[in-house]
Amino acid sequence: MKRIIPVFLIVLTLSACATQMTVLDKSYPATDPDNLTILFNEKPKCNAKQIAFLNTTTAYSWSQDGALQSARENAASVGADYLVINNTKSMYGDGTGTVFHAIAYKCVKS
């Protein structure tokens, strides 16, 4: 019984958020997630190319930071320099659960 509770907590924690990504361009090397810039409803100020669409869902409001970090890491894995959050919706009326819709951008030379 003692092992069931920790396993249940791990499964619950891991299922708190999920990111679904559609990659448009796989030609870029991964970037450092810590160097990726997050913008809200605005385009990057460089010659930016869309390289992926991301949908991140979180089951609980306390995991919004985790959901944003998940989206950041996924965007960086395909070489993004920017992650633009275009839409944030509450899944339920009480604010427990959020869906982020975002686009990953790569700055390219003109």
* 95 or 36: which leads in pLDDT: 36
Element (H, E) at 64: helix 64-77
Domain residue spans of the chain: 17-107
The predicted structure's pLDDT at residue 60: 63
Task: Give the DSSP per-residue string, 2-40.
Answer: TTHHHHHHHHHHHTTEEEEEEES---S----GGGPEEEE
Q: What is the DSSP letter of 51?
A: E
pLDDT tens sequence across 15-30 = 467 788 999 999 999 9
The whole model's pTM is what?
A: 0.77
List Cβ neighbours of 93 (8 Å cut-off, separation of 6 or more).
none
Q: Return the amino acid letter for 84.
A: V
Both tokens assigned to 51:
């390289």
Is domain 17-107 classified as CATH 3.40.50.1820? no
